[in-house]
C-alpha cells in the first residue's frame, strides 16, 4: 500500500485508502486528508490523490440522535439532482460499511470556488454583491421548481403538513438532547404547534439554505454547488426561503446576519427586494408574514445546536468550534421568542 500523508484529522487513513483503491479506480499513490473547519453536523474532509480532489462526508462518531446525520440520504439526493442540472457536487461512492472509518460516509467531487461566511460580503467586490444574493435566490427558486417525481424523489419525504411535522420533530430532538431548562424554548414548544400556517406548495427543499452552504465561481457571481443536504426533504418551499430571508433580521455580527448593516452602499438587496425576486421566479403574488417562519427557523436552529451542545458534553463534538456554537442556544431561543411575539404570540 502507498505511503499516506496524514495531517491532523480523525480518520483511519490506511483503511480509507484501501477502500478508495476499490471504490474509485484511477489515481494511485499517497492520499492527503484534510478536515474542513465547521462541519458541526456531518464532518467533512478534503481528499487529494494524484490530480484528483474529492470531498468525504461522514456521520459523526459516538451516539447520535434519532434520524440525524443520514449521509446516505444526502448521497441519494445529490445523485438525483446532479443529472437534473442543479448545481451540486457529483456524487462518486457511498460506503455503508462502518468498519472502514468507523461510520457511514460518501465521497463526491471537489468543487473549487468561493464560500462567503459573512453576510455583508466584505471579500466580494461591491459591484457584485447584489448579483451574489440574486444568484442565491434564483438558484433556490430553480430547486423549488424541480418536480420530485421526475427525479425519482417522490418518496423522499411526505409533502403535506411540513411545518407541523417539523415542529414535532425538533421538539423531540431538543428533548433528546436537553441539558437544562430554557424558558424561551418552553414557550416556543407550547406556542408553535397551534399556530402553524397553511401549506400551499410542496417541493424538494434544502433545509439549510444560506450563503455559506453555497460555492460560488471564483471570478463571477455564479452558483457552482449547494452544500450540506443533511436536512433536505420534500416540504414547504417557504421553509427554505424564510431561512435565507432570516439573515435580514439577524444582527450583522460577522456571520450571516444583515440587520443593522447599511445595505444600499454595500449593494446588497433589501428583504423586500429579495422577496420580490423570489416571488417573480416562483410565480407567487406575495408571501405571508414571515415572523412565524423566522420563529420556527430559529427554534429549529436551537434544536440543531442543542444536539451539538449534547455532543460537546458527551465528548463527540465534530470540530473545535462546537462549544462556541452550542453556547448560542439561549440567545437564539430568546431571538426565536421575540419573532413569535411579532407573529402574535401572547407576551
Query: Does 300 score more than 70 pLDDT?
Result: yes
Say if residue 297 is exposed, middle or buried (CB neighbours under 10 Å; 0-12, 13-18, 19+).
buried
R_g of the chain, CA atoms, integer Å? 20
Would you give the DSSP letter of residue 213? G
The whole-model pTM stands at 0.89
| Spatial distance between the Cα atoms of 33 and 42, rounded to a whole number of angstroms | 16
Q: Give the three-class secondary structure for 205.
A: strand
Instruction: Look up residue 148 and give its three cell numbers.
Output: 420530485
Q: Return the residue matching grid coordinates 471504490.
A: 23
pLDDT in tens, 4-28: 344 446 789 999 999 999 999 888 8
Per-residue pLDDT, 180: 87
How many DSSP H helices and E strands does the chain contain? 11, 9
pLDDT in tens, 59-101: 877 655 555 558 999 999 999 999 999 999 999 999 999 999 9
Set out the domains of the chain in order of their start, with CATH numbers. Answer: 13-109 (3.30.200.20), 126-342 (3.90.1200.10)
Amino acid at each position: 500500500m502507498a505511503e499516506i500523508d496524514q495531517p491532523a484529522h480523525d480518520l483511519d487513513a490506511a483503511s480509507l485508502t484501501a477502500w478508495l483503491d476499490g471504490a474509485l479506480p484511477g489515481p494511485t499513490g499517497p492520499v492527503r486528508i484534510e478536515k474542513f473547519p465547521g462541519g458541526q453536523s456531518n464532518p467533512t474532509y478534503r481528499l487529494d490523490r494524484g490530480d484528483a480532489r474529492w470531498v468525504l462526508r461522514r456521520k459523526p462518531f459516538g451516539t447520535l440522535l434519532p434520524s440525524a446525520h443520514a449521509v446516505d440520504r444526502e448521497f441519494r439526493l445529490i445523485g438525483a439532482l446532479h443529472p437534473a442540472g442543479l448545481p451540486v457536487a457529483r456524487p462518486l461512492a457511498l460506503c455503508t460499511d462502518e468498519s472502514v472509518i468507523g461510520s457511514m460516509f460518501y465521497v463526491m467531487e471537489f468543487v473549487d470556488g468561493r464560500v462567503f461566511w459573512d453576510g455583508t460580503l466584505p471579500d466580494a467586490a461591491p459591484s457584485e454583491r447584489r448579483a451574489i444574493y440574486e444568484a442565491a435566490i434564483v438558484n433556490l427558486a430553480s430547486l423549488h421548481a424541480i418536480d420530485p417525481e421526475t427525479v425519482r424523489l417522490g418518496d423522499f419525504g411526505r409533502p403535506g403538513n411540513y411545518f407541523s411535522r417539523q415542529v414535532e420533530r425538533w421538539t423531540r430532538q431538543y428533548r433528546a438532547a436537553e441539558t437544562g431548562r430554557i424558558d424561551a424554548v418552553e414557550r416556543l414548544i407550547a406556542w408553535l404547534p397551534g399556530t402553524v400556517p397553511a401549506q400551499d406548495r410542496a417541493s424538494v427543499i434544502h433545509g439549510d439554505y444560506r450563503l455559506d452552504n453555497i460555492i460560488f465561481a471564483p471570478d463571477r457571481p455564479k452558483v457552482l454547488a449547494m452544500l450540506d443536504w443533511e436536512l433536505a426533504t420534500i416540504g414547504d418551499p417557504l421553509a427554505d426561503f424564510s431561512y435565507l430571508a432570516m439573515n435580514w433580521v439577524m444582527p450583522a455580527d460577522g456571520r450571516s446576519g444583515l440587520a443593522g448593516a447599511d445595505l444600499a452602499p454595500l449593494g446588497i438587496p433589501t428583504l423586500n427586494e429579495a422577496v420580490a425576486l423570489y416571488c417573480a421566479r416562483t410565480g407567487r403574488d406575495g408571501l405571508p408574514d414571515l415572523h412565524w417562519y423566522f420563529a420556527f427557523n430559529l427554534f429549529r436552529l436551537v434544536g440543531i445546536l442543542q444536539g451539538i451542545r449534547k455532543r460537546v458534553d458527551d465528548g463527540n463534538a465534530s470540530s473545535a468550534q462546537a462549544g462556541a456554537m452550542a453556547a448560542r442556544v439561549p440567545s437564539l431561543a430568546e431571538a426565536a421568542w421575540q419573532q413569535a411575539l411579532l407573529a402574535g404570540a401572547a407576551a
